[in-house]
Amino acid sequence: MKELIDLVDKKLDEYMPVTYPEDIFKAMKYTLMLPGKRLRPVMCLETARILGADISKVLPAACALEMLHVQSLIHDDLPCMDNDDFRRGKPSNHKVFGEANAVLAGDALLTFAPQLIIEKSKGLKESQILRILHEYTRFAGAYGLIAGQVVDIESEGGKLVKTPRETLEFIHLNKTAVLFRLAVRIGAIAAEADEKTIEEFDNFAKKFGLAFQIYDDIMDEISSFEELGKTVGKDKNSGKLTYVSLYGLEEAESKFRNLIQECYGIISRYDSKVFNEILDKLAERIRSN
Amino acid sequence: MKELIDLVDKKLDEYMPVTYPEDIFKAMKYTLMLPGKRLRPVMCLETARILGADISKVLPAACALEMLHVQSLIHDDLPCMDNDDFRRGKPSNHKVFGEANAVLAGDALLTFAPQLIIEKSKGLKESQILRILHEYTRFAGAYGLIAGQVVDIESEGGKLVKTPRETLEFIHLNKTAVLFRLAVRIGAIAAEADEKTIEEFDNFAKKFGLAFQIYDDIMDEISSFEELGKTVGKDKNSGKLTYVSLYGLEEAESKFRNLIQECYGIISRYDSKVFNEILDKLAERIRSN
């Protein structure tokens, strides 16, 4: 896994130029290059690999996933959204570059990511690139990631169209699971997997995403700033819908463990050290707290 | 031209659904459906038509151009950017839906536009769709529209990397001309035009875009709120670089007239009532003020 993370870091640095007007490229690159787990690109690359594709084919799309993720973080941190001053332990984008540049850096990442896929995906067929772009637009926008963010914000304001539990699941599926789903789907498409396999990985990513978000909710409840690298207790303090607030800590932990077990079950059909390592680490962190 | 505008309005309404979570789709649709000249989609459709393509092929891409344009307006109007309370004579997006939703509505339009191109462009080859998407990402992002916005904002803050005149030209080319260029390029690509023809239309759009921006600078200087549908005198009051502030009103008008004449010259090779009407109207407005 360490190898894949290093590869992604190297490629992100290589793909993301700094040219005139430098301020926008610097702002894009700043949050992008903050050390992260690179889970989405790593899961994309690993899916492609275990399904038999040369991972070099899918490196641009994998890096585009991280750009899309970082875009959502930059906009999420804005004063008019979550108003978070820290991200990955460092000042958030708008604290360094100002709000206007942070808005524009997010916009620019949102168009640079598909541009990268189009320009650098050597070895993929046109039909594969088009399908990857289609999935990208479906999952990144108002039918996916942004839907999750909107319902998240509305729920904080107490505005619920569905029941609290339905709303929470919608938020978690769309705000968190959606990019993991996109990651494995792109990996599988690059490997020319059949639809059944794509759906199997999609199902894995959905469960993983839910577990990941429950983990996040639990950590926000019990962890410290040093561990988290961002402001703690915000969810609780803002009266936000979380697994912990709706189900209590114990049931949240139990739901988390069940989802992780289901993930192990799905991935056991493949020989993937990386996926096992990702699951181990997530499970381990909950245990150690 | 009226017919094309009506067609674009009808298609925008048809393509832009309002579904759960409704607030984001409503926010996207609100600014999109405010009455506008639809110049970018109209120019895209007309280029395709005079170069021999069935315009139905390019309608989704033409509407995507309007979405991209509207996205830039929504983010431009934000308090952290131009802080404009009005757009097209109505309250701007964030005044109606709040800042968070306005940021997200812009993001969502930025991904919905290419999604629309991928899903609805019947009759175009995969290679044409990919090329259109490539141009879209190049012109919409940090190498195009956003570069123009960033340098525009920086120049307002007095930060110039190039000379004022070079900076102003960069801003106008990237903030304004870029979407007209993208419009005619997409129309020409849909018509399978050769590279020379694409560049000819690109050159037309570059000159038209510069003329259009000079017109905008002049109007901001001499016009009233009722005529403009947005706050007036903002450029002047903010000490912004404009053609008028750099060259004076007289030279700005002369530059404008020359560019319009050059546009007539290029387009005279084609039998286009629509392009002539667009040029006539722009030239007429300056004369009548």
Provide the shortest C-alpha distance from residue A141 to chain B (in Å).
5
Residues A119-165 pLDDT 10s: 999 999 999 999 999 999 999 999 999 999 999 988 887 788 888 99
What share of chain A has pLDDT > 90, as a percent? 81
| Sign of the alpha-carbon dihedral angle for B46, B48, B49, B51 | positive
Confidence (pLDDT) at A220: 82
How far apart (Å, rounded) are the C-alpha atoms in residues B209 and B185?
A: 14
CB contact set of A41 (below 8 Å; sequence gap of 6+): A4, A8, A62, A63, A65, A66, A183
This complex has an ipTM of 0.93
Confidence (pLDDT) at A158: 79
Distance of CA B76 to the CA centre of its chain: 13
Answer whether residue A204 shows pLDDT above 80.
yes
Nearest Cα to Cα of residue A74 among A14, A182, A149? A149
Confidence (pLDDT) at A235: 57
Distance of CA A139 to the CA centre of its chain: 11
Q: Is A245 on the interface with B (CB under 8 A)?
A: no
CA closest to A149 among chain B residues: B104
* Residues A56, A57, A59: CA angle, nearest 5 degrees: 60
Question: Which DSSP state fits B37?
Answer: -
Provide the shortest C-alpha distance from residue A147 to chain B (in Å).
6
Answer whether residue B27 shows pLDDT above 90.
yes
Instruction: Give backbone dihedrals phi and psi of A103, rounded to 5 degrees, phi first.
Output: -60, -50
Distance set, CA B72 to CA A30, B31, B60, B87, B109 (Å): 23, 11, 19, 12, 9
Q: Is A238 on the interface with B (CB under 8 A)?
A: no
Look up the CATH number of the domain holding residue A204. 1.10.600.10
Quick check: A78 and B25 CB within 8 A?
A: no
Spell out which residues of chain B touch residue A75, defining contact as CB-CB under 8 Å.
103-104, 107
DSSP characters over B46-101: HHHHHTT--GGGGHHHHHHHHHHHHHHHHHHTSTTTT--SEETTEE-HHHHH-HHH
Radius of gyration for the alpha carbons in chain B, expressed in angstroms and rounded: 18
Quick check: A103 and B78 CB within 8 A?
A: yes
SS3 B271: coil
Confidence (pLDDT) at A252: 93
Q: Is A65 on the interface with B (CB under 8 A)?
A: no
How far apart (Å, rounded) are the C-alpha atoms in residues B247 and B262?
A: 20
Residues B265-285 pLDDT 10s: 999 999 899 999 999 999 987
Contact B179, B68 (CB under 8 A): yes
Q: Is A137 on the interface with B (CB under 8 A)?
A: yes
Answer whether residue A31 shows pLDDT above 70.
yes
Better pLDDT: A22 or B241: A22
Contact B175, B149 (CB under 8 A): yes
DSSP characters over B172-187: IIIIIIHHHHHHHHHH
Spell out which residues of chain A touch residue B173, defining contact as CB-CB under 8 Å.
none
**A-interface mutation test, from B146, B152, B163, most A Cβ less than 10 A away:** B146
Provide the shortest C-alpha distance from residue B263 to chain A (in Å).
29
Spell out which residues of chain B touch residue A71, defining contact as CB-CB under 8 Å.
107
Q: Is B153 on the interface with A (CB under 8 A)?
A: yes
Q: Is the peptide bond before B21 cis (omega within 30 degrees of 0)?
A: yes
Provide the shortest C-alpha distance from residue B279 to chain A (in Å).
31
Q: Residue B268: what residue type?
A: S
Quick check: B25 and A142 CB within 8 A?
A: yes
Spell out which residues of chain B touch residue A129, defining contact as CB-CB under 8 Å.
130
How far apart (Å, rounded) are the C-alpha atoms in residues B88 and B254?
A: 27
Quick check: A75 and B103 CB within 8 A?
A: yes
Answer whether residue B238 shows pLDDT above 70.
no
Q: State if pTM tops 0.90.
A: yes
In B4-33, which positions are buried (b, 16+ CB within 10 angstroms) versus exposed (e)?
Answer: bbebbbebbeebbeeeebebbbebbbbbbe
| Sign of the alpha-carbon dihedral angle for A7, A10, A14, A15 | positive
pLDDT class of B222 with cuts at 50, 70, 90: confident
Q: What is the domain extent for residue B35?
A: 2-287
What's the whole-number mean pLDDT along residues B246-252? Answer: 92
Lowest mean pLDDT among A89-93, A191-195, A230-234, B137-141: A230-234
Domain total of chain B = 1
pLDDT class of B157 with cuts at 50, 70, 90: confident
Q: Is B16 on the interface with A (CB under 8 A)?
A: no
**E strand or H helix at A91:** strand A90-91
